[in-house]
Amino acid sequence: MKLFIAGAVLSVIAICVSNVAGQTATGAIKHVVLVSTQGTRGPVFASALDVVKGVPYPSIAHLKGDVEIRANGFVLNAEQADYDEQTGEIKASGNVSIRPYPPLP
């Protein structure tokens, strides 16, 4: 239950930060922390030019433009991606690349 509450709080904070960032500069990269209801995978740090996320938790976060997602030892870059907070699944499209993070020696 504590993980669920922590996830919900982080999602609300991320939405607020994303909204504020969107109001301050046009075309600026927005950052958001996403948490899956699975809870065992840890937070997902994402950034994109456009971030749209539903208010009820869990929902699907839609990221568009210069997408970067960091989680569990990898970095995913794409033109757009959807992150499902229910399953932790990421669907990415457009020049998708995945690399280890931190980089391997």
Which residue(s) pair with 34 in the sheet? 44
Average pLDDT estimate for 85-105: 90
Do β-strands 74-84 and 97-100 pair in parallel, antiparallel, or remain unpaired? antiparallel
Of residues 64 and 10, the one with the higher pLDDT is 64
Residue 24 reports pLDDT greater than 50 = no
Q: Are 79 and 95 in contact (CB under 8 A)?
A: yes
Tokens of 28: 């600026």
The pLDDT tens digits of the residues spanning 36-92 come to 887 677 889 999 999 999 888 899 999 999 999 998 889 999 999 999 999 999 999
Dist CA 35 CA 14 (whole Å):
10
Count the neighbouring beta carbons within 10 Å of the beta carbon of residue 96: 15
Count the neighbouring beta carbons within 10 Å of the beta carbon of residue 59: 16
Kindly report whether the global pTM for this prediction surpasses the value 0.75.
no
